[in-house]
A = this chain, B = another copy of it.
Amino acid sequence: MATAYDNFAAHIAELNDILCSISVLKWDARTQMPHGGAETRGHQLATLSRLSQEHFISDKTARLLDAAEAEIASEDPDSYRVRAVRQTRQYFEIIRKLPLDLVGEKAALEPVSEGVWAAAKQNNDFASFAPYLQKQVDLARRQADAIGYAEHPFDALVFEYEPSMTASKLRVLFEGLKVGLLPLLREIVANDKPLEKDLWMREYPLDKQKAFGWEMAQKFGYDVNRGRLDIAPHPFEISFTRQDVRITTRYKLNYFPMALYGTLHETGHALYEQGVDPSLTRSALAIDFLGKYPVGGTSYGVHESQSRLWENQIGRSRAFWNAHIDRFRHYFPEVGAEVDPEFMYRAVNRVRPSLIRVEADEVTYNLHIMLRVELELGLMDGSLKVADLPEVWNAKMEEYLGVTPPDDSRGVLQDIHWSGGGFGSFPGYTVGNVMSAQFLEAARRDVSGLDASLEAGEYAPLLGWLTENIYRHGRAFSGSELLIRTTGNDLTVEPYLRYLRAKFTDLYALPL
């Protein structure tokens, strides 16, 4: 006979099915759909989204939750069952608190606001976007008030993306990074020299780029029986349960790192999703309830820690190029004959302060994020006005990176996030970078011979440790809990700064 927990789980499994269906429709829209299908696809997504909302915020969910809670009351609080019920309850209460008119206004504003932003970016016209951004700020503050917070309205927003993070923790985090990164960046810039060979004037056939990236993804451990690789202008990873985890990348004929590292980045996300324990498939621990998104990873930050770890700490390592230069030469024999692993290692690790976040290197990337988070904090607590954003943006770019955007399109208008009201999502990128170094230090501590295996281009020991300690748990534990379980510490910048200092001091021959 079905237990109360079984009934609860079956109901949530259906929610998972609907959310996965929505993701299939989104993947299709971004990679396969002919453009004539956009409008009716929008209707299909809206209807499924409404159905998922009705399914979750229902009296049936409330009844099933009550019964399941009674049944599991005395079980291990760290068990997946208890975590599944507890998190469902937590998000059920939060979502029920959100006023229906607020939810409706947000949903209606998003496509309009994103359209205005896209035009404003194209025309370098911040003024036309400002009123819509103001509406998004107002809605976000109303949402923060509805959810509630102890210290800063931002706390209620960042909760959706990184439940263990708050405004005050972020201030400490970025202060630590700033102190470590700004002097390092200044030294690097002073020591910068052009590469002896201009690698990016060559042509790298797209089918070879795809084959090389795909081979490396599989080397890392990506299971192609549960995934595939497509082209998308804005690359992403998306999963419809751990059994079907797809990635995308984009190609530039004369600049192979875009496709390769895009593929390895999304492969990191995919390894996380594919590594979730099979028992969590279709469960509450594979759902982001607030984001209405079926996902096995526990938060934006932890997810990003894995894409960054595989892309940067593994893919941009000296060991990677030592191990795989032969495969590079196989696909690109002409360039391959001219270069050695050490040259490749230097070529894919150039540091250059630049205007655009998504093109930034490992050292400058977090400064772009810091700037955005500081502005979001100001917008949310009212200390910064929307109208002042461009000026403050440009001043901070000059202060942190030493460059000033020539126009708002390459400045405050460059990212889509705010136009969709996604305040609170930016910290995940930096939290991920910082966590990645903590996790890799812990793996080195636990797995003897880890570096020897990486030098040999063998990733099973690393993937095994990550799966055992992080991936398999799905969303059962928060980022903070995972860090404490694996490293003994909560989030801390020192391992990450150690990693960057060691790598770039060596690469740029700086005094240690």
Q: What is the interface of chain A, defined by CB distance below 8 A to chain B?
A: 13-14, 17-18, 20-21, 24-25, 28, 32-41, 43-44, 46-48, 51, 223-228, 240-241, 243-244, 246, 281-282
Contacts and interface: CB of A to CB of B under 8 A. Distances in A.
A240 B41 contact: yes
Nearest to A33: B244
Contacts of A33: 244
Given A28-B28, A39-B243, A243-B39, A21 B44 contact: yes
Given A32-B32, A40-B243, A47 B17 contact: yes
B244 A47 contact: no
Given A21-B25, A21-B48, A34-B244, 15 more contacts: A17-B48, A18-B47, A20-B40, A21-B21, A24-B28, A34-B225, A34-B226, A34-B246, A36-B225, A36-B243, A37-B244, A40-B240, A40-B244, A40-B281, A44-B240
A18 B225 contact: no
Contacts of A246: 34
B32 A44 contact: no
A243 B48 contact: no
A266 to B, nearest CB: 15
A41 to B, nearest CB: 7
Nearest to A20: B44
A32 B226 CA distance: 11
A211 B41 CA distance: 28
B34 A227 contact: yes
B243 A37 contact: yes
B244 A36 contact: yes
Contact of A24 (B34, B44, B223, B226): B44
A17 B34 contact: no
Given A17-B48, A43-B17, A47-B18, A37 B240 contact: yes
A294 to B, nearest CB: 10
Of A20, A32, A37, A281, the most chain B CB neighbours within 10 A belong to A37
Contact of A44 (B17, B39, B226): B17
A37 B44 CA distance: 22
Nearest to A31: B32
A13 B46 CA distance: 12
A40 B39 CA distance: 28
Contacts of A48: 17-18, 21
A18 B240 CA distance: 17
A32 B228 contact: yes
Contacts of A225: 34-36
Contacts of A44: 17-18, 20-21, 24, 240
Contacts of A224: 34
6 contacts: A17-B43, A17-B46, A21-B47, A36-B226, A37-B243, A40-B281
A36 to B, nearest CB: 4
Given A13-B43, A21-B25, A48-B17, A37 B226 contact: yes
Nearest to A230: B32
Contacts of A32: 32, 228
A35 B226 CA distance: 7
Nearest to A228: B34
Contacts of A14: 47
Contacts of A18: 44, 47-48, 51
Nearest to A226: B36
A52 to B, nearest CB: 10
A59 to B, nearest CB: 16
Nearest to A281: B40
Contacts of A46: 17
Nearest to A244: B37
A206 to B, nearest CB: 15
Contacts of A282: 40, 43
A226 B226 CA distance: 29
| List of 4 A-B pairs having minimum Cβ-Cβ separation, nearest first | A37-B244, A36-B226, A17-B47, A40-B241
A352 to B, nearest CB: 38
Contacts of A39: 243
A38 B226 CA distance: 10
Contacts of A38: 243
Contacts of A25: 21, 24
A14 B40 CA distance: 11
Nearest to A225: B36
Nearest to A15: B47
Contacts of A41: 240, 244
A282 B46 CA distance: 13
A214 to B, nearest CB: 13
